[in-house]
Amino acid sequence: MKIVACIKQTFDTEAKIVIGADGQISDEGVNLILNPYDEFAVEEAIKTKENNGGEVVIVTVGGDSAQEALRYSLAMGADRAVLINDPALANADSHAVSVALAKLLSDKEAGFDIIFAGKEAVDDGVAQVPSRLAAKLDIALANVVTAIELADGKISVTREIDGGTEDLEMALPALVAAQKGLNEVRYPSLPGIMKAKRKPLEVISLADLGLSADDVATKVEMISAELPPARKAGQKLTGEVDEVVAKLVDLLKNEAKVI
């Protein structure tokens, strides 16, 4: 089987967000990591190879630093990686990323059996790349997936929906967007880290894919960003129960205006 995992390098979830003078989020001094939801995707890709044989290819769109997330995925057990790195993708939105990935997977990496991705990236929470990519490749999609079973050229999944779960069966090739709980993510071993340094990591541009800057022009432009206002200090009400209740009702009605 040819198994693909789409990943993204994101801010560490513990990172402190700083807004620069230009109204943009600053990445100075921030630790960058493999998107946590994509870790489940990489783990499932490796497990699928272990159970069915084949090759695991990790793909991403990003800058030079994204190679760190790719090497981490290779250290987990993937076979090779491809990075689409181009100045025109510096501020890529979900549309641009899906266009670039779809071109890569339909041309240079054609012949895949299954694609895994995280359900969303923790830095923007847009959760559109899996859906857009599946639509462009014209393959079935299951998102927010918590269980998978492969057999006889088909994939059966359980996915979260509002108020419960849903079971789906899809013919391959298909795209699966992973949710937390799909598996237990392995940590790269020391031998795995050493082997990852020698595994193939190909860096390509839009030109290598036959795409231009116009093809990946973003549909969304971030004008500026701002942190939410600081929380006001809470109030402590004292006195007899009847007095406290009366004060609380008055505050909720006239200050907070929630009743």
Query: pLDDT tens digits, residue range 64-110?
Result: 999 999 999 999 999 999 999 999 999 899 999 999 999 999 999 99
52 and 26 Cβ atoms separated by less than 8 Å: no
Nearest CA to 65 out of 120, 116, 27 is that of 27
Confidence check: pLDDT of 27 > 80: no
As a CATH number, domain 2-216 is 3.40.50.620
Per-residue tokens: 165: 């779960």
Query: How far apart are the C-alpha atoms of 42 and 47, rounded to whole Å?
Result: 9
Domain ranges, ordered by start, for the chain: 2-216, 232-259
Question: pLDDT (tens digit, 9 = 90+) per residue, 202-225?
Answer: 999 999 999 999 999 999 887 877
Percent of the chain with pLDDT over 90: 76
Of 15 and 168, more confident: 168
Rounded to an integer, the average pLDDT of 241-252 is: 91
By CB atoms closer than 10 A (0-12, 13-18, 19+), residue 116 is buried
- DSSP readout, the chain? -EEEEE--EEE-TTPPPEE-TTSSEE-TTPPEEE-HHHHHHHHHHHHHHHHH--EEEEEEE--TTHHHHHHHHHHHT--EEEEE--GGGTT--HHHHHHHHHHHHHTTT---SEEEEES--TTT----HHHHHHHHHT-EEEEEEEEEEEETTEEEEEEEETTEEEEEEEESSEEEEE-TTS-PPPPPPHHHHHHHTTS-EEEE-TGGGT--TGGG--S-------PPPPPPPP----S-HHHHHHHHHHIIIIIS---
Look up residue 8 and give its amino acid.
K
Query: How far apart are the C-alpha atoms of 216 and 169, rounded to whole Å?
Result: 33
Nearest CA to 134 out of 102, 182, 108, 156 is that of 102
Confidence check: pLDDT of 20 > 80: no
Question: Residue 116: CA atoms inside 13 Å, Cβ hemisphere, count?
Answer: 32
Axis crossing angle, helix 36-52 with helix 66-76, rounded to the nearest 10:
40
Q: How confident is the model at residue 19 (pLDDT cuts 50, 70, 90)?
A: confident
